[in-house]
Structure formats: structure tokens, C-alpha cells
């Protein structure tokens, strides 16, 4: 498919609006993506035409809804190249998926065992592992970061021991846009017999993860960051690991037989999908993935790299600017500050000019502590943004800088 930015932008109703009397410039894509009309229509269509509970009813609507839901699971299986569809679990998002795995490990870890996370993690990939270690008596270790935002791979290799049971790291940093060497991380972890969970929340908007090629044991991501609905997500887990872990929640759907004396559990994936799921969300997530694949991830990556290069080129012209996360391999995320100016103040001023960026610690306080800053201004670009929008942001930043200096 030819990449036509004007056609793409016309498919996103929200981009046509004004904010504070100015055309909306939406550069907070790392927080959540905007939704194309085809996704919005699919959500409405579900409730208009096939709304019913799934996996249980013999009636027509239930069968149609069940088929649509399971077809979406198969689409996602193919998208991430999972070996089996039952290794693809629907969740409410990345946070839920990580908590599911960490809760399971919290029940099988023991004192002396070790869990490794990195300094670059979102709080969602730190706190659940702290819970697991507190519950089990295991020890949490941290891969240190370097000044350019990359992870210290020599230190990582020194942290790995026969006591390492799981390594949990992000594919791409949400705060800095740094792409981590996850194949290397996975390979080294497996050499000591450790499992690996990859937080793909920030990666999946930009690339197609091949979980079999990566050989990760778990891969988690959110629907709302890939043009899908909020409250949706995916946890991929290797069959062997999903069978080892205990269920996360009890209730309908996840059971095989229930008596007051003993309950047995359903097979995968239902063992981990208790209760009525977000049926519409699961179906529409498949529609969002179809939409992105129609545009093409190679096209998305190439265009976003253009935006990143142009954004950096223009921002470097501004006086007093400081960048965070300056590695060669990055997603289309720029984290920066102006010397002597609080990021929140800049964000508040440029919002009045229609520019949406994220300011703060981005749920990654350890990174901010490393740089000894309260937060950053984060501009994150998507395939529906333009260089003209970057120019508009630059002019807004100049005004903010002038007002705050």
C-alpha cells in the first residue's frame, strides 16, 4: 500500500478538531494512540449487531460473537507469530498481563531466587515484581542504565546467576524511546535457565514482534497504544510456562469442574480468562491490527524515522535544550527539557497553543532520579503526524521559552 499521509489523517476524526482555537497537534502517542474511523465503527457495529456473551450460549448471537472473538485471537497469533492461538491471552492491558505473570511467579519463587528488571522500566514492570519478591522472599536486582539511556549489558551479564528465575525488561523505553537489545537479553537469560518477560507496550505501535524468533517466554502489550480500544491487551506466553503458572483470577470460564471439595481448571487460554471479558474490545483489537497491517509496519517505521530525524534536527536549533535517551536506535519519541525551566510549565503553555505533549516522570521515576530531574517534556510521534505539526510545536516551544525565561 502506498503511504498517503493525507488519506491516513482523514481517517482519524479526532485530528480534525481544534483545541483552544488552534488545530490539534497530538504528540502524546506514547501515552495512547488515536483511533481510526474503522475501529470506532467496529465498536459500534458490535453493540448494534452482535452483542452477546461468548463461549456459553447456543443461540445465534452468542455463536457469532464467539466466532468473532476467537477470530481476533487468531489474527493476533499470526501478527506476533505465536506458535498456538491458545498461547495468546486477552487482558485489559500491559499492566494486567505483567501482574498475571508476576503473581504466578510470586507463588513459585522461593528465598534465594532472583528476579531481574532494568532501570528503564515503567512502574508497571517494577511494582508487580516487588510484590512477587516480598511474597516469596526472592531478591530483586536491577540492570543499571548509562548516560545515553542504554542499559549496561556488561553489568547485566554479571547479574545473571543460576539463581536468576526471570528477567523482565521493556522492548522500548516509554520515557526515552530507547530500543533495548532484547534478543541478547533473552539469549543470555536462557543460558542460566531463566524465563524472560518482554514489556512490548511501547514497541508494538512501531513494529511487529516475532515471539518465536525472539524466543521470549512472555510478551505483553496494550491495545490502546496500537489504534485499538482502551481496556484491551495481550499476554503471549509459551505453552510450557502458561501450564506451570497458577490461575490469576477465579470465576466463570476458567474452570473445568467445581465442587466444594476441589476445583479443576480449564485448558489454555481459558485458565487465565476468568469472567466475562471485554468482548467488543477483543474483537475490535483485531480490526485495529488489520488496519495497521494494511498501512504496513515497514511504511510506519520508515515514516516515523523521518519524523524523529526531523524533530531532532529542529529541536537542536533551540537554545538551552537538553535531550535524554540519545542512543542510535530509537523509536519516534523525544524526551527533553530546557535548562532552568520546569517541564510542566512548558507543557501547560504549549497546550494553550493546541500542542499535546506529555510532561512529568512518565511512570518511570527511577530514570528521572538517575538524571536528577523532576521529569521531561516528551514528544512522541505516530504515523499520522506530520513535519508541519513539528514546525508548529517548535514555534510554540519558542514562545513558551520566551515567556518562562
Known catalytic residues are 363
**Are the C-beta atoms of 341 and 404 separated by less than 8 Å?**
yes
**Are the C-beta atoms of 148 and 371 separated by less than 8 Å?**
no
Give the helix/strand (H/E) hosting 263.
Answer: strand 263-265
The C-alpha angle 227, 231, 236, rounded to 5 degrees, equals 80
Region of residue 386 (phi > 0: left; psi between -120 and 50: alpha; otherwise: beta): beta
Report the SS3 class of residue 380.
strand
Residue 159, judged by CB atoms within 10 A of its CB (0-12, 13-18, 19+), counts as: middle
What DSSP letter does each residue of 197-243 carry, written as one string? EEE-TTTTTT----HHHHT-SEEEEESTTTTS-TT-EEEEE-HHHHH
**Are the C-beta atoms of 32 and 8 separated by less than 8 Å?**
no
274, three cell numbers: 476468568
263, three cell numbers: 476445583
The C-alpha atoms of residue 330 and residue 208 are separated, in whole angstroms, by: 15
**Are the C-beta atoms of 189 and 138 separated by less than 8 Å?**
no
**Are the C-beta atoms of 97 and 89 separated by less than 8 Å?**
yes
374, three cell numbers: 523532576
Is the link from the previous residue into 269 a cis peptide, with omega within 30 of 0?
A: yes
3-state secondary structure labels for all residues of 312-365: HHHHCCCCCEEEECCCCCECCEEEEEECCCCHHHHHHHHHCCCEECEEECCCCH
The C-alpha atoms of residue 182 and residue 161 are separated, in whole angstroms, by: 18
The C-alpha atoms of residue 238 and residue 157 are separated, in whole angstroms, by: 24
Residues forming beta bridges with residue 356, ordered by sequence position: 26
Which candidate, 172, 91, 209, places its Cα nearest to that of 378? 172
Residue recorded with cell 469472567: 275
The C-alpha atoms of residue 246 and residue 255 are separated, in whole angstroms, by: 12
Amino acid at each position: 500500500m502506498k503511504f498517503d499521509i493525507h488519506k491516513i489523517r482523514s481517517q482519524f476524526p479526532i485530528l480534525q478538531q481544534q483545541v483552544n482555537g488552534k488545530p490539534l497537534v497530538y504528540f502524546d502517542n506514547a501515552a495512547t494512540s488515536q483511533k481510526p474511523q474503522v475501529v470506532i465503527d467496529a465498536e459500534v457495529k458490535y453493540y448494534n449487531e452482535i452483542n452477546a456473551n461468548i463461549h456459553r450460549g447456543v443461540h445465534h448471537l452468542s455463536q457469532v460473537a464467539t466466532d468473532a472473538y476467537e477470530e481476533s485471537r487468531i489474527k493476533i497469533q499470526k501478527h506476533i507469530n505465536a506458535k498456538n492461538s491458545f498461547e495468546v491471552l486477552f487482558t485489559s492491558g500491559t499492566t494486567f498481563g505483567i501482574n498475571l505473570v508476576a503473581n504466578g511467579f510470586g507463588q513459585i519463587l522461593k528465598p534465594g531466587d532472583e528476579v531481574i528488571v532494568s532501570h528503564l522500566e515503567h512502574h508497571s514492570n517494577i511494582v508487580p515484581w516487588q510484590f512477587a519478591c516480598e511474597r516469596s522472599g526472592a531478591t530483586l536486582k536491577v540492570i543499571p542504565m548509562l548516560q545515553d539511556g542504554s542499559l549496561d549489558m556488561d553489568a547485566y551479564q554479571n547479574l545473571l546467576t543460576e539463581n536468576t528465575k526471570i528477567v523482565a525488561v521493556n522492548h522500548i523505553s516509554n520515557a526515552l524511546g530507547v530500543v533495548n537489545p532484547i534478543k541478547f537479553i533473552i539469549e543470555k537469560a536462557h543460558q542460566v535457565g531463566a524465563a524472560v518477560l518482554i514489556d512490548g507496550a511501547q514497541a508494538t505501535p512501531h513494529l511487529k514482534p516475532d515471539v518465536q524468533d525472539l524466543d521470549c517466554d512472555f510478551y505483553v502489550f496494550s491495545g490502546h497504544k496500537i489504534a485499538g480500544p482502551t481496556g484491551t491487551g495481550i499476554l503471549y506466553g509459551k505453552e510450557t510456562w502458561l501450564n506451570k503458572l497458577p490461575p490469576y483470577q477465579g470465576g466463570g470460564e476458567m474452570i473445568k469442574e467445581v465442587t466444594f471439595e476441589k476445583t479443576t481448571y480449564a485448558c489454555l487460554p481459558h485458565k487465565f480468562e476468568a469472567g466475562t471479558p471485554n468482548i467488543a474490545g477483543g474483537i475490535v483489537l483485531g480490526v485495529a491490527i488489520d488496519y495497521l497491517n494494511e498501512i504496513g509496519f515497514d511504511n510506519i517505521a520508515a515514516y516515523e524515522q523521518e519524523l524523529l530525524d526531523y524533530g531532532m534536527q529542529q529541536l537542536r536549533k533551540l537554545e538551552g535544550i537538553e535531550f535524554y535517551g540519545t542512543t542510535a536506535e530509537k523509536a519516534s519519541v523525544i524526551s527533553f527539557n530546557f535548562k532552568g525551566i520546569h517541564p510542566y510549565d512548558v507543557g501547560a503553555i504549549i497546550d494553550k497553543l493546541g500542542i499535546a505533549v506529555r510532561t512529568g516522570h512518565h511512570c518511570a521515576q527511577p530514570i528521572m532520579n538517575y538524571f536528577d530531574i523532576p521529569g521531561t517534556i516528551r514528544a512522541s510521534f505516530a504515523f499520522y503526524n506530520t513535519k508541519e505539526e513539528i514546525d508548529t510545536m517548535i514555534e510554540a516551544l519558542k514562545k513558551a521559552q520566551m515567556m518562562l525565561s
